[in-house]
């Protein structure tokens, strides 16, 4: 028996790296998984992002553990598409108990090769607005279940202190990860009456393709 038998978890940025690790760990404890990822490159990122095959492999790893997996190629910057993906996943798996908002980019040091306005917008849209676009459709399902739940927002050490290297990318990344903490603080108060926990996690450098490429 796993700690999460019968539960369903939604994870963004699940095709590889930390997102895949979260999916496999939760499935190992008995949860079924809704896994989403962009599965395409973003021009301001000077490293390759995950692929459709990466996302499919996450699904296969979950299923090897005896759990169900629903995968969706979707951009967290696209609010209507995220709503469709979340609602579809919940309809397929029957409920929602856990959300891990993990999708993010780290174009630190990418400029001056890219337009600074585009760099700023892509980082904030993915790392901050993307978290909200994940939570906005997910929270009603958590509340409607009336079973409590858990929301985990993946911030960074950059959400606790500044990262400075003279680049717009570093400033945008720091701002976005501090913003994730603000979302957590607001929603922790709002959702406490429903027994839904909201926390941030603040990793430093992690050995994933986002860092090592």
Catalytic residue among 77, 173, 183, 198: 173
Quick one: DSSP state of residue 34? E
* Nearest Cα to Cα of residue 36 among 105, 100, 110, 117: 100
Assigned token pair, 103: 């999708």
- Kindly state whether residue 126 falls inside one of the protein's structural domains: yes
Residue 207 in domain:
no
Give the residue from 26, 14, 36, 28 showing the smallest Cα distance to 97. 26
Predicted confidence (pLDDT) per residue in 99-147, tens digit: 999 999 998 876 677 889 999 999 999 999 999 999 999 999 999 999 9
pLDDT of residue 26: 98
CB 96 within 8 A of CB 142: yes
Rounded Cα distance between 132 and 104, Å, is 12
Is the residue at 208 inside a domain? no
Catalytic annotation present for 173? yes
Q: Percent of the chain at pLDDT above 90?
A: 85
Which residues form the domain of 195?
8-201
167 or 79: which leads in pLDDT: 79
CATH of the domain at 155: 3.40.50.720
pTM of the complete model = 0.94
Token pair for 134 = 């994940």
User: Could you report the per-residue pLDDT of 7-43, keeping only the tens digit for each?
Assistant: 999 999 999 999 999 999 999 999 999 999 999 999 9
- Which helix (H) or strand (E) segment holds residue 10: the answer is strand 8-12
Evaluate whether residue 189 is within a structural domain: yes
Rg (CA), the chain: 16
Q: 10 is written with which tokens?
A: 């939604």
Cis preceding-peptide flag for 112 (omega within 30 of 0): yes
Look at the chain and report how many structural domains it folds into: 1
């Amino acid at each position: 028996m796993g700690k999460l038998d019968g539960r369903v978890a939604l994870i963004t940025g699940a095709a590889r790296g930390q997102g895949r690790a979260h999916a496999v760990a939760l499935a190992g404890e008995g949860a079924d998984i809704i896994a989403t990822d962009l599965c395409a490159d973003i021009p301001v990122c000077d490293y390759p992002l995950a692929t459709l095959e990466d996302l499919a492999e996450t699904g296969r790893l979950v299923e090897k553990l005896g759990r169900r997996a629903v995968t969706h190629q979707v951009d967290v910057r696209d609010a209507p598409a995220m709503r469709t993906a979340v609602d579809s996943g919940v309809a397929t798996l029957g409920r929602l108990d856990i959300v891990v908002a993990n999708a993010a980019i780290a174009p630190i040091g990418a400029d001056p090769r890219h337009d600074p306005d585009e760099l700023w917008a892509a980082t904030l849209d993915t790392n901050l607005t993307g978290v909200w676009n994940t939570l906005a459709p997910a929270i009603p399902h958590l509340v409607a279940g009336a079973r409590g739940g858990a929301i985990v927002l993946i911030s960074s050490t950059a959400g606790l202190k500044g990262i400075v290297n003279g680049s717009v990318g570093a400033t945008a990344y720091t701002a976005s990860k501090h913003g994730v903490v603000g979302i957590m603080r607001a929603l922790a108060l709002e959702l406490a009456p429903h027994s839904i926990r909201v926390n941030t996690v603040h990793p430093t450098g992690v050995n994933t393709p986002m860092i090592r490429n």
